[in-house]
Amino acid sequence: MERLNVLVCDDDTAIVDALEIYLKHENYGVLKAYTGAQALQALAEHEIHLILLDIMMPEMDGLSATIRIREERNIPIIIISAKSEDTDKIAGLNFGADDYVSKPFNPLELMARVKSQMRRYTALGSIALKSGILKSGGLELDRAGKEVRVDGEIIRLTPTEYGIVVFLMENLGHVFSIAQIYEQVWNEPSYAAENTVAVHIRRIREKIEINPREPKYLKVVWGIGYKIKKY
Amino acid sequence: MERLNVLVCDDDTAIVDALEIYLKHENYGVLKAYTGAQALQALAEHEIHLILLDIMMPEMDGLSATIRIREERNIPIIIISAKSEDTDKIAGLNFGADDYVSKPFNPLELMARVKSQMRRYTALGSIALKSGILKSGGLELDRAGKEVRVDGEIIRLTPTEYGIVVFLMENLGHVFSIAQIYEQVWNEPSYAAENTVAVHIRRIREKIEINPREPKYLKVVWGIGYKIKKY
DNA sequence: TGAAAATCTTAAAGCTTTCTTAAGAATAAG
DNA sequence: CTTATTCTTAAGAAAGCTTTAAGATTTTCA
Protein backbone atom coordinates (compact mmCIF):
# COMPACT_ATOMS: atom_id res chain seq x y z
CA MET A 1 0.00 0.00 0.00
CA GLU A 2 1.26 3.33 -0.99
CA ARG A 3 1.74 6.02 1.61
CA LEU A 4 -0.74 8.88 1.69
CA ASN A 5 0.69 12.38 2.01
CA VAL A 6 -0.82 15.30 3.89
CA LEU A 7 0.18 18.89 3.32
CA VAL A 8 -0.10 20.97 6.48
CA CYS A 9 -0.29 24.70 5.89
CA ASP A 10 -0.37 27.17 8.78
CA ASP A 11 1.72 30.22 9.65
CA ASP A 12 1.87 29.02 13.25
CA THR A 13 4.87 26.70 13.33
CA ALA A 14 3.84 25.25 16.67
CA ILE A 15 0.58 23.98 15.22
CA VAL A 16 2.27 22.62 12.14
CA ASP A 17 4.79 20.72 14.22
CA ALA A 18 2.11 19.34 16.50
CA LEU A 19 0.00 18.17 13.60
CA GLU A 20 3.04 16.58 12.02
CA ILE A 21 3.47 14.38 15.05
CA TYR A 22 -0.15 13.28 15.08
CA LEU A 23 -0.21 12.64 11.34
CA LYS A 24 3.01 10.65 11.37
CA HIS A 25 1.59 8.58 14.17
CA GLU A 26 -1.27 7.68 11.84
CA ASN A 27 1.34 6.75 9.25
CA TYR A 28 0.75 9.60 6.86
CA GLY A 29 3.55 11.34 5.04
CA VAL A 30 3.73 15.00 6.05
CA LEU A 31 4.70 18.06 4.05
CA LYS A 32 4.82 21.48 5.66
CA ALA A 33 4.08 24.95 4.33
CA TYR A 34 3.82 28.25 6.16
CA THR A 35 2.27 30.43 3.48
CA GLY A 36 -0.33 29.95 0.77
CA ALA A 37 2.34 30.38 -1.88
CA GLN A 38 4.46 27.64 -0.34
CA ALA A 39 1.41 25.40 -0.26
CA LEU A 40 0.77 25.89 -3.97
CA GLN A 41 4.38 25.19 -4.75
CA ALA A 42 4.46 22.03 -2.64
CA LEU A 43 1.35 20.92 -4.45
CA ALA A 44 3.06 21.31 -7.80
CA GLU A 45 6.19 19.49 -6.76
CA HIS A 46 4.94 16.61 -4.64
CA GLU A 47 2.27 14.02 -4.66
CA ILE A 48 -0.23 15.16 -2.05
CA HIS A 49 -3.49 13.47 -1.10
CA LEU A 50 -5.04 15.87 1.42
CA ILE A 51 -4.50 19.41 2.64
CA LEU A 52 -4.95 20.87 6.11
CA LEU A 53 -5.19 24.58 5.51
CA ASP A 54 -5.23 27.49 7.94
CA ILE A 55 -7.54 30.19 6.72
CA MET A 56 -5.67 33.19 8.13
CA MET A 57 -2.22 33.39 6.69
CA PRO A 58 0.05 36.14 5.43
CA GLU A 59 0.66 36.54 1.68
CA MET A 60 -2.40 34.69 0.60
CA ASP A 61 -5.43 33.90 2.68
CA GLY A 62 -6.73 30.39 2.95
CA LEU A 63 -9.89 30.98 0.98
CA SER A 64 -8.04 32.23 -2.08
CA ALA A 65 -5.67 29.31 -1.73
CA THR A 66 -8.60 26.94 -1.54
CA ILE A 67 -9.96 28.24 -4.80
CA ARG A 68 -6.62 28.01 -6.57
CA ILE A 69 -6.04 24.51 -5.29
CA ARG A 70 -9.49 23.44 -6.45
CA GLU A 71 -8.74 24.78 -9.88
CA GLU A 72 -5.67 22.64 -10.19
CA ARG A 73 -6.31 19.48 -8.27
CA ASN A 74 -9.32 17.76 -6.91
CA ILE A 75 -8.00 16.64 -3.55
CA PRO A 76 -9.69 16.93 -0.16
CA ILE A 77 -9.17 20.18 1.70
CA ILE A 78 -9.85 20.56 5.41
CA ILE A 79 -9.87 24.15 6.61
CA ILE A 80 -8.58 24.90 10.09
CA SER A 81 -9.53 28.29 11.39
CA ALA A 82 -9.50 30.56 14.40
CA LYS A 83 -12.85 31.82 13.23
CA SER A 84 -15.62 29.74 14.64
CA GLU A 85 -18.40 31.88 13.24
CA ASP A 86 -20.97 29.89 11.30
CA THR A 87 -20.79 32.30 8.37
CA ASP A 88 -17.08 31.62 8.00
CA LYS A 89 -17.65 27.88 8.06
CA ILE A 90 -20.34 28.18 5.42
CA ALA A 91 -18.13 30.38 3.26
CA GLY A 92 -15.23 27.96 3.54
CA LEU A 93 -17.31 24.95 2.65
CA ASN A 94 -18.95 26.73 -0.25
CA PHE A 95 -15.59 27.75 -1.62
CA GLY A 96 -14.73 24.13 -2.11
CA ALA A 97 -13.41 22.91 1.21
CA ASP A 98 -14.42 19.41 2.23
CA ASP A 99 -14.47 20.05 5.95
CA TYR A 100 -14.01 22.87 8.40
CA VAL A 101 -12.58 22.66 11.90
CA SER A 102 -12.37 25.57 14.36
CA LYS A 103 -9.44 26.30 16.64
CA PRO A 104 -8.96 25.20 19.28
CA PHE A 105 -9.59 21.72 17.97
CA ASN A 106 -9.20 18.29 19.41
CA PRO A 107 -6.37 16.70 17.46
CA LEU A 108 -7.97 13.30 17.69
CA GLU A 109 -11.16 14.61 16.16
CA LEU A 110 -9.10 16.18 13.41
CA MET A 111 -7.34 12.87 12.77
CA ALA A 112 -10.73 11.16 12.54
CA ARG A 113 -11.83 13.73 9.98
CA VAL A 114 -8.63 13.27 7.99
CA LYS A 115 -9.19 9.54 8.00
CA SER A 116 -12.77 10.00 6.92
CA GLN A 117 -11.77 12.10 3.92
CA MET A 118 -8.98 9.73 2.98
CA ARG A 119 -11.33 6.78 3.20
CA ARG A 120 -13.64 8.23 0.62
CA TYR A 121 -10.80 9.43 -1.52
CA THR A 122 -9.11 6.07 -1.72
CA ALA A 123 -12.34 4.05 -1.82
CA LEU A 124 -12.74 4.79 -5.48
CA GLY A 125 -9.77 2.64 -6.13
CA SER A 126 -6.15 3.39 -6.41
CA ILE A 127 -6.90 4.41 -9.96
CA ALA A 128 -7.47 7.97 -8.88
CA LEU A 129 -4.51 7.88 -6.56
CA LYS A 130 -1.55 8.12 -8.87
CA SER A 131 -2.86 11.25 -10.43
CA GLY A 132 -1.97 14.82 -9.94
CA ILE A 133 0.18 17.20 -11.87
CA LEU A 134 3.79 17.93 -11.01
CA LYS A 135 5.27 21.19 -12.25
CA SER A 136 8.53 23.01 -12.57
CA GLY A 137 8.24 26.30 -14.41
CA GLY A 138 6.64 25.63 -17.77
CA LEU A 139 7.25 21.90 -17.52
CA GLU A 140 4.25 19.86 -16.40
CA LEU A 141 3.85 16.15 -15.77
CA ASP A 142 0.32 14.76 -15.84
CA ARG A 143 0.59 11.28 -14.43
CA ALA A 144 -3.06 10.44 -14.99
CA GLY A 145 -2.87 11.01 -18.70
CA LYS A 146 0.77 9.95 -18.91
CA GLU A 147 1.42 13.26 -20.55
CA VAL A 148 4.14 15.87 -20.42
CA ARG A 149 3.49 19.47 -21.34
CA VAL A 150 5.83 22.38 -21.94
CA ASP A 151 4.18 25.79 -21.78
CA GLY A 152 0.86 24.06 -22.19
CA GLU A 153 1.81 22.14 -25.29
CA ILE A 154 1.64 18.37 -25.20
CA ILE A 155 4.97 16.62 -25.73
CA ARG A 156 4.92 13.10 -27.04
CA LEU A 157 7.41 10.98 -25.11
CA THR A 158 8.21 7.30 -25.49
CA PRO A 159 7.66 5.03 -22.47
CA THR A 160 11.31 5.08 -21.49
CA GLU A 161 11.61 8.80 -21.93
CA TYR A 162 8.46 9.24 -19.91
CA GLY A 163 9.82 6.99 -17.19
CA ILE A 164 12.96 9.06 -16.88
CA VAL A 165 10.99 12.31 -16.68
CA VAL A 166 8.66 10.87 -14.04
CA PHE A 167 11.58 9.72 -11.93
CA LEU A 168 13.35 13.06 -12.15
CA MET A 169 10.18 15.09 -11.64
CA GLU A 170 9.20 13.08 -8.58
CA ASN A 171 12.59 14.00 -7.17
CA LEU A 172 12.73 17.53 -8.47
CA GLY A 173 16.09 19.20 -8.03
CA HIS A 174 17.89 16.04 -6.93
CA VAL A 175 20.84 14.87 -8.98
CA PHE A 176 21.13 11.21 -9.99
CA SER A 177 23.96 9.36 -11.63
CA ILE A 178 23.36 7.59 -14.90
CA ALA A 179 23.56 4.27 -13.07
CA GLN A 180 20.93 5.36 -10.56
CA ILE A 181 18.61 6.53 -13.31
CA TYR A 182 19.05 3.29 -15.18
CA GLU A 183 18.33 1.19 -12.14
CA GLN A 184 15.22 3.16 -11.23
CA VAL A 185 13.70 3.36 -14.67
CA TRP A 186 14.71 -0.02 -16.11
CA ASN A 187 14.39 -1.74 -12.79
CA GLU A 188 17.52 -3.80 -13.26
CA PRO A 189 21.19 -3.33 -12.48
CA SER A 190 22.98 -1.04 -14.88
CA TYR A 191 25.80 -2.84 -16.58
CA ALA A 192 27.56 -0.69 -19.13
CA ALA A 193 24.28 0.98 -20.00
CA GLU A 194 25.69 4.44 -19.62
CA ASN A 195 25.30 5.38 -23.20
CA THR A 196 21.75 4.14 -23.47
CA VAL A 197 20.66 6.61 -20.85
CA ALA A 198 22.65 9.37 -22.48
CA VAL A 199 20.85 8.83 -25.75
CA HIS A 200 17.47 8.98 -24.05
CA ILE A 201 18.45 12.15 -22.23
CA ARG A 202 19.45 13.60 -25.54
CA ARG A 203 16.08 12.83 -27.07
CA ILE A 204 14.12 14.09 -24.08
CA ARG A 205 15.98 17.36 -24.36
CA GLU A 206 15.23 17.57 -28.03
CA LYS A 207 11.55 17.31 -27.18
CA ILE A 208 11.16 19.40 -24.04
CA GLU A 209 13.84 22.05 -24.37
CA ILE A 210 13.64 25.18 -26.47
CA ASN A 211 17.37 24.97 -27.06
CA PRO A 212 18.68 21.47 -26.33
CA ARG A 213 22.23 22.81 -26.26
CA GLU A 214 21.43 24.92 -23.23
CA PRO A 215 18.85 22.93 -21.33
CA LYS A 216 16.54 24.88 -19.09
CA TYR A 217 15.00 21.86 -17.38
CA LEU A 218 17.07 18.73 -17.81
CA LYS A 219 20.43 19.81 -16.45
CA VAL A 220 23.72 17.95 -16.28
CA VAL A 221 25.91 18.21 -13.20
CA TRP A 222 29.39 17.44 -14.41
CA GLY A 223 30.88 14.26 -13.14
CA ILE A 224 27.79 13.49 -11.08
CA GLY A 225 24.67 13.10 -13.13
CA TYR A 226 21.41 14.68 -14.19
CA LYS A 227 18.50 16.50 -12.60
CA ILE A 228 15.44 18.47 -13.54
CA LYS A 229 15.85 21.97 -12.24
CA LYS A 230 13.38 23.38 -9.76
CA TYR A 231 11.71 26.63 -10.80
CA MET B 1 -28.89 17.26 -14.26
CA GLU B 2 -30.47 14.59 -12.24
CA ARG B 3 -31.93 15.34 -8.84
CA LEU B 4 -29.97 14.25 -5.82
CA ASN B 5 -31.88 12.63 -2.98
CA VAL B 6 -31.22 13.02 0.71
CA LEU B 7 -32.56 10.66 3.34
CA VAL B 8 -33.25 12.43 6.63
CA CYS B 9 -33.45 10.15 9.62
CA ASP B 10 -34.32 11.44 13.09
CA ASP B 11 -36.95 10.50 15.65
CA ASP B 12 -37.72 14.17 16.23
CA THR B 13 -40.32 15.00 13.58
CA ALA B 14 -39.83 18.74 14.05
CA ILE B 15 -36.20 18.48 13.02
CA VAL B 16 -36.99 16.26 10.09
CA ASP B 17 -39.60 18.68 8.82
CA ALA B 18 -37.33 21.67 9.25
CA LEU B 19 -34.50 19.96 7.40
CA GLU B 20 -36.88 18.97 4.64
CA ILE B 21 -37.66 22.63 3.99
CA TYR B 22 -34.01 23.61 3.84
CA LEU B 23 -33.06 20.69 1.63
CA LYS B 24 -35.91 21.29 -0.79
CA HIS B 25 -34.86 24.88 -0.99
CA GLU B 26 -31.46 23.65 -2.19
CA ASN B 27 -33.30 21.55 -4.72
CA TYR B 28 -32.62 18.17 -3.22
CA GLY B 29 -35.19 15.41 -3.17
CA VAL B 30 -36.05 14.48 0.42
CA LEU B 31 -36.96 11.14 1.95
CA LYS B 32 -37.91 10.86 5.61
CA ALA B 33 -37.39 8.14 8.17
CA TYR B 34 -38.00 8.17 11.91
CA THR B 35 -36.22 4.98 12.91
CA GLY B 36 -33.09 3.16 11.86
CA ALA B 37 -35.15 0.36 10.41
CA GLN B 38 -37.16 2.75 8.29
CA ALA B 39 -33.90 4.27 7.08
CA LEU B 40 -32.58 0.93 5.95
CA GLN B 41 -35.84 0.18 4.21
CA ALA B 42 -35.86 3.53 2.41
CA LEU B 43 -32.31 2.86 1.36
CA ALA B 44 -33.31 -0.43 -0.20
CA GLU B 45 -36.29 1.00 -2.04
CA HIS B 46 -35.08 4.36 -3.29
CA GLU B 47 -32.11 5.87 -4.98
CA ILE B 48 -30.48 7.88 -2.22
CA HIS B 49 -27.32 9.93 -2.53
CA LEU B 50 -26.69 11.11 1.03
CA ILE B 51 -27.97 10.38 4.53
CA LEU B 52 -28.48 12.74 7.46
CA LEU B 53 -28.61 10.46 10.44
CA ASP B 54 -29.51 11.14 14.06
CA ILE B 55 -27.37 9.09 16.36
CA MET B 56 -29.87 8.62 19.18
CA MET B 57 -32.91 6.85 17.90
CA PRO B 58 -35.23 4.16 19.21
CA GLU B 59 -35.06 0.65 17.76
CA MET B 60 -31.61 0.99 16.39
CA ASP B 61 -29.05 3.56 17.29
CA GLY B 62 -27.36 5.63 14.66
CA LEU B 63 -23.96 4.05 15.00
CA SER B 64 -25.24 0.56 14.26
CA ALA B 65 -27.22 1.99 11.40
CA THR B 66 -24.08 3.67 10.07
CA ILE B 67 -22.29 0.38 10.00
CA ARG B 68 -25.11 -1.45 8.29
CA ILE B 69 -25.48 1.30 5.70
CA ARG B 70 -21.78 1.20 4.99
CA GLU B 71 -21.95 -2.50 4.43
CA GLU B 72 -24.65 -2.11 1.82
CA ARG B 73 -23.95 1.11 0.02
CA ASN B 74 -21.05 3.45 -0.14
CA ILE B 75 -22.86 6.77 0.14
CA PRO B 76 -21.99 9.79 2.29
CA ILE B 77 -23.35 9.78 5.82
CA ILE B 78 -23.55 12.90 7.97
CA ILE B 79 -24.27 12.20 11.60
CA ILE B 80 -26.37 14.68 13.55
CA SER B 81 -26.19 14.29 17.28
CA ALA B 82 -27.18 15.79 20.60
CA LYS B 83 -23.84 14.60 21.89
CA SER B 84 -21.18 17.16 21.29
CA GLU B 85 -18.46 15.28 23.14
CA ASP B 86 -15.30 14.90 21.11
CA THR B 87 -15.16 11.21 21.85
CA ASP B 88 -18.58 10.74 20.28
CA LYS B 89 -17.53 12.64 17.20
CA ILE B 90 -14.41 10.58 16.84
CA ALA B 91 -16.35 7.37 17.31
CA GLY B 92 -18.90 8.39 14.70
CA LEU B 93 -16.28 9.33 12.14
CA ASN B 94 -14.33 6.17 12.77
CA PHE B 95 -17.45 4.08 12.29
CA GLY B 96 -17.65 5.28 8.74
CA ALA B 97 -19.50 8.58 8.88
CA ASP B 98 -18.27 11.28 6.51
CA ASP B 99 -19.12 14.19 8.77
CA TYR B 100 -20.49 14.89 12.23
CA VAL B 101 -22.59 17.86 13.31
CA SER B 102 -23.72 18.54 16.87
CA LYS B 103 -27.15 19.80 17.93
CA PRO B 104 -28.03 22.57 18.04
CA PHE B 105 -26.68 23.20 14.57
CA ASN B 106 -26.89 26.07 12.15
CA PRO B 107 -29.01 24.77 9.28
CA LEU B 108 -27.04 26.82 6.77
CA GLU B 109 -23.80 25.25 7.92
CA LEU B 110 -25.41 21.85 7.61
CA MET B 111 -26.52 22.67 4.07
CA ALA B 112 -22.97 23.74 3.23
CA ARG B 113 -21.69 20.41 4.55
CA VAL B 114 -24.30 18.51 2.55
CA LYS B 115 -23.28 20.39 -0.55
CA SER B 116 -19.62 19.69 0.14
CA GLN B 117 -20.22 15.94 0.43
CA MET B 118 -22.39 15.91 -2.68
CA ARG B 119 -19.78 17.81 -4.63
CA ARG B 120 -17.12 15.22 -3.98
CA TYR B 121 -19.53 12.37 -4.33
CA THR B 122 -20.66 13.42 -7.76
CA ALA B 123 -17.30 14.72 -8.93
CA LEU B 124 -15.69 11.33 -8.95
CA GLY B 125 -18.93 10.06 -10.37
CA SER B 126 -18.10 6.64 -11.57
CA ILE B 127 -19.13 4.34 -8.79
CA ALA B 128 -21.53 6.64 -7.08
CA LEU B 129 -24.02 8.05 -9.52
CA LYS B 130 -25.03 5.44 -12.00
CA SER B 131 -26.72 7.96 -14.21
CA GLY B 132 -25.87 11.33 -15.58
CA ILE B 133 -24.09 12.28 -18.76
CA LEU B 134 -20.33 12.27 -19.17
CA LYS B 135 -18.84 14.45 -21.87
CA SER B 136 -15.57 15.11 -23.58
CA GLY B 137 -15.81 17.54 -26.46
CA GLY B 138 -18.40 16.20 -28.87
CA LEU B 139 -18.38 12.76 -27.29
CA GLU B 140 -21.20 12.08 -24.84
CA LEU B 141 -22.00 9.07 -22.74
CA ASP B 142 -25.54 8.88 -21.40
CA ARG B 143 -25.43 6.13 -18.84
CA ALA B 144 -29.13 6.37 -18.06
CA GLY B 145 -30.08 5.70 -21.67
CA LYS B 146 -27.05 3.51 -22.33
CA GLU B 147 -26.25 5.68 -25.26
CA VAL B 148 -23.18 7.19 -26.83
CA ARG B 149 -23.40 10.27 -28.99
CA VAL B 150 -20.88 12.07 -31.17
CA ASP B 151 -21.80 15.64 -32.04
CA GLY B 152 -25.36 14.82 -31.05
CA GLU B 153 -25.66 11.80 -33.27
CA ILE B 154 -26.40 8.47 -31.64
CA ILE B 155 -23.71 5.86 -32.15
CA ARG B 156 -24.70 2.24 -32.00
CA LEU B 157 -22.18 0.29 -29.95
CA THR B 158 -22.15 -3.39 -29.06
CA PRO B 159 -22.24 -4.30 -25.34
CA THR B 160 -18.51 -4.89 -25.14
CA GLU B 161 -17.70 -1.73 -27.03
CA TYR B 162 -20.06 0.17 -24.77
CA GLY B 163 -18.39 -1.32 -21.71
CA ILE B 164 -14.99 -0.15 -22.84
CA VAL B 165 -16.25 3.35 -23.57
CA VAL B 166 -17.98 3.55 -20.18
CA PHE B 167 -14.83 2.50 -18.36
CA LEU B 168 -12.64 4.95 -20.22
CA MET B 169 -15.15 7.79 -19.95
CA GLU B 170 -15.59 7.24 -16.24
CA ASN B 171 -11.85 7.68 -15.94
CA LEU B 172 -11.50 10.39 -18.51
CA GLY B 173 -7.92 11.25 -19.31
CA HIS B 174 -6.47 8.28 -17.48
CA VAL B 175 -4.38 5.82 -19.44
CA PHE B 176 -4.97 2.10 -18.99
CA SER B 177 -3.04 -0.84 -20.31
CA ILE B 178 -4.81 -3.41 -22.43
CA ALA B 179 -4.66 -5.83 -19.50
CA GLN B 180 -6.30 -3.30 -17.18
CA ILE B 181 -9.04 -2.59 -19.67
CA TYR B 182 -9.70 -6.29 -20.14
CA GLU B 183 -9.87 -6.94 -16.42
CA GLN B 184 -12.20 -4.03 -15.78
CA VAL B 185 -14.58 -4.64 -18.66
CA TRP B 186 -14.61 -8.46 -18.81
CA ASN B 187 -14.24 -8.79 -15.07
CA GLU B 188 -11.75 -11.61 -15.27
CA PRO B 189 -7.98 -11.87 -15.47
CA SER B 190 -6.58 -11.09 -18.87
CA TYR B 191 -4.64 -14.00 -20.21
CA ALA B 192 -3.34 -13.39 -23.69
CA ALA B 193 -6.42 -11.36 -24.49
CA GLU B 194 -4.39 -8.46 -25.74
CA ASN B 195 -5.55 -8.66 -29.27
CA THR B 196 -9.19 -9.01 -28.38
CA VAL B 197 -9.16 -5.60 -26.81
CA ALA B 198 -7.21 -4.18 -29.72
CA VAL B 199 -9.85 -5.31 -32.16
CA HIS B 200 -12.63 -3.77 -30.10
CA ILE B 201 -10.68 -0.54 -29.89
CA ARG B 202 -10.36 -0.64 -33.62
CA ARG B 203 -14.12 -0.97 -34.05
CA ILE B 204 -14.97 1.69 -31.50
CA ARG B 205 -12.72 4.07 -33.36
CA GLU B 206 -14.41 3.20 -36.62
CA LYS B 207 -17.70 4.23 -35.06
CA ILE B 208 -16.87 7.27 -32.96
CA GLU B 209 -13.97 8.86 -34.81
CA ILE B 210 -14.22 11.04 -37.88
CA ASN B 211 -10.89 9.71 -39.05
CA PRO B 212 -10.00 6.45 -37.27
CA ARG B 213 -6.40 6.81 -38.42
CA GLU B 214 -6.00 9.94 -36.36
CA PRO B 215 -8.29 9.43 -33.40
CA LYS B 216 -9.53 12.53 -31.68
CA TYR B 217 -11.02 10.76 -28.67
CA LEU B 218 -9.70 7.26 -28.23
CA LYS B 219 -5.97 7.85 -28.04
CA VAL B 220 -3.11 5.41 -27.78
CA VAL B 221 -0.16 6.15 -25.54
CA TRP B 222 2.64 4.10 -27.01
CA GLY B 223 3.93 1.32 -24.88
CA ILE B 224 1.45 2.16 -22.13
CA GLY B 225 -2.14 1.86 -23.20
CA TYR B 226 -5.27 3.73 -24.22
CA LYS B 227 -7.32 6.63 -22.91
CA ILE B 228 -10.14 8.88 -23.97
CA LYS B 229 -8.79 12.37 -24.20
CA LYS B 230 -10.20 15.12 -22.07
CA TYR B 231 -11.50 18.13 -23.96
C1' DT C 1 -37.32 -24.09 -31.28
C1' DG C 2 -34.52 -23.08 -35.27
C1' DA C 3 -32.58 -20.01 -38.54
C1' DA C 4 -30.60 -15.59 -39.27
C1' DA C 5 -28.19 -11.84 -37.60
C1' DA C 6 -25.11 -9.80 -34.69
C1' DT C 7 -21.21 -9.99 -31.93
C1' DC C 8 -16.94 -11.79 -30.17
C1' DT C 9 -12.50 -14.04 -30.57
C1' DT C 10 -8.37 -15.51 -32.71
C1' DA C 11 -4.60 -15.47 -35.83
C1' DA C 12 -1.49 -13.46 -38.86
C1' DA C 13 0.61 -9.99 -41.67
C1' DG C 14 2.12 -5.38 -42.24
C1' DC C 15 3.28 -1.16 -40.49
C1' DT C 16 5.08 2.22 -37.13
C1' DT C 17 7.52 3.45 -33.20
C1' DT C 18 10.99 2.78 -29.91
C1' DC C 19 15.34 0.90 -28.03
C1' DT C 20 20.03 -0.16 -28.17
C1' DT C 21 24.55 -0.01 -29.78
C1' DA C 22 28.67 1.93 -31.42
C1' DA C 23 31.72 5.40 -32.87
C1' DG C 24 33.16 9.95 -33.39
C1' DA C 25 32.54 14.94 -32.05
C1' DA C 26 32.16 18.36 -28.64
C1' DT C 27 32.75 20.22 -24.13
C1' DA C 28 34.26 21.15 -19.30
C1' DA C 29 37.90 20.82 -15.71
C1' DG C 30 42.37 21.07 -14.06
C1' DC D 1 46.61 21.16 -23.50
C1' DT D 2 45.15 16.86 -21.96
C1' DT D 3 41.89 13.90 -20.18
C1' DA D 4 37.53 12.48 -18.68
C1' DT D 5 32.97 13.16 -19.50
C1' DT D 6 29.07 14.21 -22.07
C1' DC D 7 26.73 14.86 -26.53
C1' DT D 8 25.31 13.56 -31.14
C1' DT D 9 24.16 10.74 -35.04
C1' DA D 10 22.75 6.86 -37.50
C1' DA D 11 21.22 2.29 -38.33
C1' DG D 12 19.67 -2.30 -37.22
C1' DA D 13 16.92 -4.90 -33.92
C1' DA D 14 13.07 -5.27 -31.08
C1' DA D 15 8.62 -4.23 -29.52
C1' DG D 16 4.00 -2.52 -30.05
C1' DC D 17 -0.04 -1.15 -32.75
C1' DT D 18 -3.38 -1.63 -36.58
C1' DT D 19 -5.90 -3.97 -39.78
C1' DT D 20 -8.14 -7.74 -42.09
C1' DA D 21 -10.54 -11.80 -42.35
C1' DA D 22 -12.60 -16.00 -40.97
C1' DG D 23 -14.59 -19.06 -37.70
C1' DA D 24 -16.96 -19.47 -33.08
C1' DT D 25 -20.35 -17.95 -30.13
C1' DT D 26 -24.28 -15.54 -28.61
C1' DT D 27 -28.48 -13.08 -29.31
C1' DT D 28 -32.69 -12.06 -31.72
C1' DC D 29 -36.95 -12.91 -33.71
C1' DA D 30 -40.19 -15.46 -36.33
Give A226's pLDDT tier (boundaries 50, 70, 90): very high
When mean pLDDT is compared over A68-82, B122-136, B186-200, the highest value belongs to B186-200
Strands B133-136 and B99-102: unpaired
Same domain, B90 and B148: no
Based on the fold, state whether residues A59 and A17 are members of the same structural domain: yes
Mean pLDDT of A120-137: 64
pLDDT band at A1 (very low <50, low <70, confident <90, very high): very low
pLDDT of residue B1: 43
Of residues B95 and A52, more confidently modeled: A52
Chain B residues contacting A via beta carbons under 8 Å = 74, 76, 86, 89-90, 93-94, 96-99, 106, 108-109, 111-113, 115-116, 119-120, 123-124, 126-127, 171, 173-175, 221-224, 227, 229-230
Residue B128 falls inside a structural domain: no
pLDDT number for residue B57:
56
pLDDT value, residue B66: 64
The answer to whether A106 CB is within 7 Å of strand C is: no
Backbone angles phi, psi at A70, to 5 degrees: -60, -35
Domain count, chain A: 2
pLDDT recorded at residue B131: 46
The reply to whether residue B175 touches residue A74, judged by beta carbons under 8 angstroms, is no
Name the least confident of A156-165, B81-90, B213-222.
B81-90
Q: Hey, which residues does B53 pair with through a beta bridge?
A: B9, B79
A89 shares a domain with A72:
yes
Q: How confident is the model at residue A231 (pLDDT cuts 50, 70, 90)?
A: confident
Same domain for A123 and A22? yes
Q: Give B189: exposed, middle or buried? Use CB within 10 Å, 0-12, 13-18, 19+.
A: exposed
Query: What's the pLDDT score for residue B190?
Result: 76
B64 and B38 in a common domain: yes
- Mean pLDDT value across chain A: 85
Q: What residues make up the domain containing B145?
A: 133-228
* Chain A: residues touching B (Cβ < 8 Å): 74, 76, 86, 89-90, 93-94, 96-99, 106, 108-109, 112-113, 115-116, 119-120, 123-124, 127-128, 131, 142, 144-147, 158-160, 162
- pLDDT for A52 beyond 80: yes
| pLDDT surpassing 50 at residue B125 | no
Domain identity same for A118 and A137 = no
- pLDDT at residue A69, as a whole number: 73
Which pLDDT score is estimated for A58? 58
- Indicate whether A97 pLDDT > 80: yes
CB contact under 8 A, B93 and A112: yes
Test mutation, A85, A127, A133, chain B, max B CBs within 10 A: A127
Mark whether B100 and B203 lie in a shared domain: no
Q: Which residue of A has its CA nearest to B177?
A: A146
- Least trusted range by pLDDT, from A79-88, B16-25, B163-172: A79-88
At A27-46, the pLDDT tens digits run: 898 999 998 888 888 888 88
Instruction: Assign B130 a pLDDT band (cuts: 50, 70, 90).
Output: very low
Across A82-86, A114-118, A201-205, A210-214, least confident range: A82-86
pLDDT (tens digit, 9 = 90+) per residue, B82-108?
877 788 888 888 888 889 998 888 999
Same domain, residue pair B139 and B116: no
The whole-angstrom distance between B42's CA and the closest CA on chain A is: 23
CATH number of the domain bearing residue A40: 3.40.50.2300
Residue B115 lies in a domain: yes
With CB atoms and an 8 Å threshold, state whether B99 touches A99.
yes
Determine the residue of chain B that is closest to A145 in CA distance. B174
Chain B residues in contact with A96 (beta carbon < 8 A): 119
* Domain finish residue from B123, B155, B181: B123
pLDDT at B128 (0 to 100): 36
Q: Which of A68, A99, A128 is the last residue of a domain?
A: A128
Cβ contact B174–A76 (<8 Å): no
> Would B210 be classed as within a structural domain?
yes
Q: How far is CA B61 from the centre of its chain?
A: 26
- What is the mean predicted confidence (pLDDT) over A141-155? 90
Q: Are residues A122 and A201 both part of a single domain?
A: no
Give the closest residue to B164 by CA, choosing from B223, B210, B208. Answer: B208
Of B95, B123, B151, which closes a domain? B123
pLDDT score for A191: 78
Q: Is the domain of B114 the same as that of B10?
A: yes
Statement: residue B202 has pLDDT above 80: yes
Task: Based on the fold, state whether residues A173 and A85 are members of the same structural domain.
Answer: no
Q: What is the pLDDT of residues A173-197, one digit of tens each?
A: 889 999 999 998 988 887 777 899 9
Given this model, what pLDDT does residue A16 score? 94
pLDDT recorded at residue B16: 93
Answer whether residue B127 shows pLDDT above 50.
Answer: no
Residue B200 maps to which CATH number?
1.10.10.10
One-letter-per-residue 3-state SS of chain B: CCCCEEEEECCCHHHHHHHHHHHHHCCCEEEEECCHHHHHHHHHHCCCCEEEEECCCCCCCHHHHHHHHHHHCCCCEEEEECCCCHHHHHHHHHCCCCEEEECCCCHHHHHHHHHHHHHHHHHCCCCCCCCCEEEECCEEEECCCCEEEECCEEECCCHHHHHHHHHHHHCCCCCECHHHHHHHHHCCCCCCCHHHHHHHHHHHHHHHCCCCCCCCCEEEECCCEEEECCC
pLDDT above 90 (res B60) = no
What nucleotides of chain D have any atom within 7 angstroms of a protein Cβ?
A: 4-10, 15-21
Size of interface A-B (CB pairs under 8 A): 85
Domain match, A165 and A151 both = yes
